[in-house]
Amino acid sequence: MASKLFALTCIRNEGRGQVSPGSRYPSMPRYPKGATSVEDSEAKALFSVTGMTCAACAGSVEKGIKRLPGIREALVDVLNNRALVHFYPSLVNEETIREAIEDVGFKATLLRDEMNERSVQVCRITIAGMTCTSCSSAVESNLQAIPGVLKAQVALATEEAEVHYNPNIVSYNEILQAIKGTGFEATLLSLGEDMSKIDLQVEGVRTDHSMRIVENSLQALPGVQTIELYPEQNKISLSFKPDLTGPRNFINVIAGTGSGRFRAKIFPQEGGRRDNHRREEIKQYYRSFLWSLVFTLPVFLTSMVFMYIPGIKHGLDTKVVNMITVGQILRWVLSTPVQFIIGRRFYSGAYKSLRHGSANMDVLIALGTNAAYFYSVYSVLRAATSPHFEGTDFFETSAMLISFILLGKYLEVFAKGKTSNAIAKLMNLTPDTAILLTLDNEGNVTNEEEIDSRLIQKNDVIKIIPGAKVASDGFVIWGQSHVNESMITGEARPVAKRKGDTVIGGTVNENGVLHVRATKVGSESALSQIVRLVESAQMAKAPVQKFADRISKFFVPLVILISFTTFLAWFLAGRFHAYPKSWIPSSMDSFELALQFGISVMVIACPCALGLATPTAVMVGTGVGASQGVLIKGGQALESAHKANCIVFDKTGTLTVGKPVVVNTRLLTNMVLQEFYELVAAAEVNSEHPLAKAIVEYAKKFKDEENPAWPEAQDFVSITGHGVKATVRNKEIIVGNKSLMSDHNVAVPTDAEDILTETEGMAQTGILVSLNGEVAGIIAVSDPLKTGAQEVISILKSMNIKSIMVTGDNWGTANSIAREVGLEEVIAEAKPEQKAEKVKALQASGYTVAMVGDGINDSPALVAADVGMAIGAGTDIAIEAADIVLMKSNLEDVITAIDLSRKTFSRIRLNYIWALGYNLLGIPIAAGVLFPSTRFRLPPWIAGAAMAASSVSVVCCSLLLKYYRRPKKLDQLEIQGIRVE
């Protein structure tokens, strides 16, 4: 919530209330309320936690962490074996947290590398009140004295500060407070990551002194922020500013150090740390299962198969000592390694869980297998010491139980790995190599060189041949082609690219050769930001998961109680002859029958299925969404979107293309049109508003030059929400709406009123132009409606979703657009805060509201809505105000997002129905409810196999979401992008 509230402070009320600005949104990191001093600042730590098997394990870890003082929040991800902890460093540190996790019984490792990649942020701040260099120096000194601030630069001319800081130590709020403490007003302009990190392997270094020489050489480079040395690995980690330097510079500097005996290359990495852990875990379970099978198969054959083969049966039944047989000794010897060596992980997990007052699946497995194993040991020992007692053993039960559970865990971990395939595929999109071009001063290519794509630096020129992947984000400086961007944006149709167009790293060039200048590399790239967004989304819990978390707290103790009650009930029933002796199988007595029922109950119960129901579906759902160009920020957004029954649309840039063009000009005075547009353009060229840009662009048609020089405008004033005022060629020019004319006592003649009414009736925006106090002309500007908007609104109606348009444009234009797309309810001339008020009013009426917008002015409404959808994002995907980002800028993706969320939550419900239904049906059947009437009973080893299968089935059910296809109605729409020249 804190992040959403912050969006409200970042609104710039630009323009005239008619057209929203471009699609940029404020970044809104989360910090605790009241963090106003360094002592209160929040830090984050990410741990790898191994050994967790179910929601109960995650609950134990979370509980153990939260016992510590200074913990604000602990997020435990059982699927990826990670724990993200928000804490206050003044009260607790990372090592204490790690020890707390290990005290609970799980191995924990601090993932410093993963956190460090995100440990440096840069914020830009505007500072009001500075008058001289002593002011700027005072501010700069004050900033550099703050713990956690790595670098601070204050520019007096622009009245701005750029601060690099570690968000784990200091927050941007504290930086703002520090500036205010020096007596100046500070306002946050932007917040985001602005540093990259790379690991280099240095060859030829034999001593620490040599490593220090290399370090000093690198430290002297501009843009190098931090250097970490790892002499044992000959590894150097550098954090640097990509605007100033890059990895090729580092390699060249190292090669030129020490008389050329040093060589450097990018440190070899075998995938991500998480992937390595997942692969190792899969291997461990696979090896354990195979070894278990080696011992269990003979146990199974001697107890279930060979007993029906006369010759072999006679050999197995041969007495050794008193009544103990060869078969019993063989089964005992073979099952013991399975129980205590292969199955030791269950003992360890159960002990650690019980030691801290909780119980997980390991407790159930350990109790069930021990009951079967030790009763069998008792039976065999009694047979060995008695000349008459013929004991029955259940060694096959314990051995087969462990084998089936290990098989289930192997399949489960293997399937869980598939749920995060979306991130792996995204990370693999970047090509391994790139063709680097060297250009002369005239822009001619002088050299081509194939390099590792990780060595690309900002402003490099890369050659992209047909069929090759684009190596980095950038813009085309030469060539024409079509680029397939479906792997990033989900847009299936190739996009035409020519000089000046932007390209995204990881997309595929289909035809033609392109020369691309790199603008964003490393962590700045769109691909990296998408990966981070999807990762954080998959880490976040959906509110519905709280249901499973509550159940997991008492599930295992309840199962143990039911199991013991089942055993006791059947044992007492047998002792007091409450059922006929014919019910007891010939191979056992009443005690053994009761024991089997009790063990079956214990091992058939599965808390894992409940714990996996939500996170696996959310992981797959968010991954599928990313592949289709719909970035969903976690379970909360998914849960809200599937409930949405009312959608509020912004107009400009959402229902319309968002690029207004001049469609008509009506002059009310005798003057040449070229002169008229020269004066208007001279005033409007100083404005950043989209309408102003449209007028200036149109005025260029009266000039031969591409970038014409306009007359000088004096006394320029921009009136927010109304227009501009300036003096050009000694004439006072006012360009804006009727209220602006009224404020400056400019009378609007009847002819102009009629033209305005006619213009608004055609869904156009009329802009009045006044020269020296008289209306001289009216410029009609139109923002074309997006193709397919009418069909999308119609489909939403068929889905029983109410659609409303809220816009800052005038009523005439708004009503005309609404009629065209089929909207019945419209609110026009709404300021940003009024849009948010309308959203809240709809929520108060009982609606679950989704807001679809594209500009900063939509931020309050995006924040206020149950689910905010940002449209028109392009490559700028670092959007914090919205819950869902629609990367293709297509309205149809609003339907895709809602449909995908509904499908995901139906899958979550199905998972819960299966997991709960399995336990509610399986436990009574295992307890022998059907036995009196049908003589059907569930042997423990079959119960164990069913338990293992239930977890796998839940994961596989979630994996079916990978085959999601958007509604067929959308396939029938020919929705195409519109390029307005």
Catalytic residues: 650
Distance CA 617, CA 551 (A): 19
Q: Based on the number of CB atoms within 10 Å of its own CB, is 558 exposed (0-12), middle (13-18) or buried (19 or more)? A: middle
Separation of first and last alpha carbons in the chain: 41
Per the structure block, which two tokens stand in for 854? 């594209």
- Residue 512 Cα to chain centre, angstroms: 34
- Residue 599 Cα to chain centre, angstroms: 42
Residues 6+ apart with CB under 8 A from 791: 973, 975
Q: Which residue has the tokens 């096959």?
A: 396
DSSP string, 806-820: E-SS-HHHHHHHHHH
Any idea how long the chain is? 981
Q: Helix or strand or coil: residue 972?
A: coil
DSSP 340: I
Report whether 448 contacts 436 (CB < 8 A). Answer: yes
For residue 267, which phi and psi values (nearest 5 degrees)?
-65, 125
Half-sphere exposure of 192 (CA within 13 A, CB side): 17
Distance CA 600, CA 149 (A): 60
Q: Helix or strand or coil: residue 651?
A: helix
Q: Based on the number of CB atoms within 10 Å of its own CB, is 719 exposed (0-12), middle (13-18) or buried (19 or more)? A: middle
Which value, in Å, is the radius of gyration of the alpha carbons in the chain? Answer: 35
| Strand intervals (E) in 737-866 | 764-771, 774-782, 802-806, 825-827, 849-853
Cβ neighbours of 614 (radius 10 Å): 30
Distance CA 421, CA 425 (A): 6
Report whether 298 contacts 400 (CB < 8 A). Answer: no
Instruction: Output the CA angle 6-10-11, nearest 5 degrees.
Output: 125
**Amino acid identity for residue 38 in this structure:** V
DSSP string, 102-159: HHHT-EEEE-HHHHHTTS-EEEEEEEE---SHHHHHHHHHHHHTSTTEEEEEEETTTT
Report whether 640 contacts 848 (CB < 8 A). Answer: yes
Pick from 198, 289, 175: nearest CA to 245: 198
Q: Helix or strand or coil: residue 521?
A: coil
Per the structure block, which two tokens stand in for 18? 């008619």
Distance CA 81, CA 61 (A): 11
Q: Is 726 left (phi over 0), alpha (psi -120 to 50) or beta?
A: beta
Report whether 229 contacts 185 (CB < 8 A). Answer: no
Pick from 391, 388, 386, 351: nearest CA to 375: 391
Q: Which residue has the tokens 């410093």?
A: 112
Report whether 430 contacts 446 (CB < 8 A). Answer: no
CA dihedral sign of residues 896, 901, 902, 904: positive
For residue 647, which phi and psi values (nearest 5 degrees)?
-120, 130
Helix (H) or strand (E) holding 492: none
Q: Helix or strand or coil: residue 739?
A: helix
Distance CA 298, CA 293 (A): 9
